[in-house]
Structure formats: structure tokens, C-alpha cells
Chains A and B, each alone.
Chain A
Amino acid sequence: NAGVTQTPKFRVLKTGQSMTLLCAQDMNHEYMYWYRQDPGMGLRLIHYSVGEGTTAKGEVPDGYNVSRLKKQNFLLGLESAAPSQTSVYFCASSYWALRDIDPRNAEAFFGQGTRLTVV
């Protein structure tokens, strides 16, 4: 029962390098999200997706790109990493929660996080 899996768990990048973070979920969820967590700032939404082939910007999208070619995968890309992108990144997924379904299905499930350091 994997749930939401993020890879890698740790990464150190040099300024200007690129990388892709992978998020995979096996719960057939429609919605997927990428967040970054920084001290004192909580979780801030970078990008999200409401279904295969669709993506949308969140609160802090600059410097990041995403793709959702398959329903179960949501990729977060950093084209040219900057020290300001040093953070812990979380992926999450959830059902399309309609009002009349079991509200317990409204929960978002999180991956274990990726600690990224840009030097």
C-alpha cells in the first residue's frame, strides 16, 4: 500500500543545475499538488493539477514547471536551480471531493517529502 511516493528524498544541487522531482500515487486520485515548506511560512502551493493533462499555478509558481502526462504521476521541474529554492518539497493527492460523497474522501494524502539544497 504505497500511497504517495516522492523521489528522490534528498538532493543537493549547484546553482543553475536542473532537476525533476517525481510524485507517484496509486490511489487513482484526480487532484495532485506540489508544495514547498520553509520555516515560518507553512506549506505554500507551487502548482497543482485537477486531472491528467492539466496543470495550474499556485501561490509561488515562479522558477518551477510541472507536468501530468499520466494520472498517477505529477512531476516538478527546476530548470535553473537557485539558492532560494532550497526547501522541503511535498507532493499530495486527493479525490475530486464532491459535496455528497463521504467527507473522509476529502483528505489529501502526502508524500514523505524531498529535502532539496541548492548551493
Chain B
Amino acid sequence: AQKITQTQPGMFVQEKEAVTLDCTYDTSDQSYGLFWYKQPSSGEMIFLIYQGSYDEQNATEGRYSLNFQKARKSANLVISASQLGDSAMYFCAMRESYGGATNKLIFGTGTLLAVQP
């Protein structure tokens, strides 16, 4: 069954430091997509980064990178040079059967990141 696990309910990081948010997933499909979203205290969902299961290189978007380890079924988000504005809830998500009829998009329980000055 499709499942996303985020084991860190909360994290602290010092401003300008790097931080890794963990995400593991479970799927029996060969084709799937992995996503990270940010939810600030204002509540909106902001897309950060995407990794396809067939992509050989780790995805990067500015200060965000996705450490994709397919054999371990992990898709950790790395935020470099943390900023105060990075304080938010972060969700890992997966879409299975990439392009198929069972194209559900499911989320983990989230990690609340607090960046300290």
C-alpha cells in the first residue's frame, strides 16, 4: 500500500545552517513522483521540489535539494543556508502510478521546522 512516513514531528535549526527533513515512502509501483510542500503559518500550501522515480539525478531548486535514495525508499529534503522565513510545516508527498488511473497524491504527517536566529 502507498504510504509516506515523516518521523520528525519538529526540528530546530540555526539561521544560516543546513537542515535535513526525513521522508520515507512505501510503494509497489515502479513509476511514482515525490514532492515536498511548505505550509507557513498563514496556511497556504507552497510547492518546493519534485523528484520522479526514474530521475537519476537528485532534484534541486535554489536552496532546496532532494536526497533521493531509491533503494532505501527515502526522499529527504535538504534546505541549505536556513532563513527565518523557512520556519513552517513541511510535507512530503507521493503520487503513485505516475500517469495511471490510480493516481492518488498522498501526504505524510509533516515536520514543523523552526529556524532560530
Count how many chain A residues have C-beta atoms less than 8 Å from C-beta atoms of the other chain. Answer: 31
B residues 67-117 in Cβ contact with A at 8 Å: 91, 93, 95, 98-99, 101, 103-110
Q: How far does the alpha carbon of A43 sit from the alpha carbon of B109 in the complex, in Å?
A: 7
Chain A residues within 8 Å of B33, by CB: 97, 103, 106
Binary contact readout A63-89 vs B (1 if CB under 8 angstroms, 0 otherwise):
000000000000000000000000010
- Identify whether the interface residues of B are mostly helix, strand, loop, or mixed: loop
- The distance in angstroms between the C-alpha atoms of A16 and B31, with both chains bound, is 42
Known: A50-B101, A112-B44. A99 touches B109 (CB 8 A): no
CB atoms of A48 and B44 under 8 A apart: no
Contact partners of B54 in chain A: CB under 8 A = 99
Whole-angstrom CA separation of A99 from B99 in the bound complex: 7
Shortest beta-carbon distance from A40 to chain B in Å:
7
Most buried by A among B9, B54, B98: B98
Which of A42, A50, A103, A106 has a CB less than 8 Å from the CB of B107? A42
Q: Which residue on A lies nearest to B106, using beta carbons? A: A45
Which chain B residues border A103 with CB–CB below 8 Å?
A: 33, 50, 52, 55
Chain B neighbourhood of A107, CB < 8 A: 35, 47, 50
Q: Which of A40, A92, A99, A104 contacts B105 (CB 8 A)?
A: A92
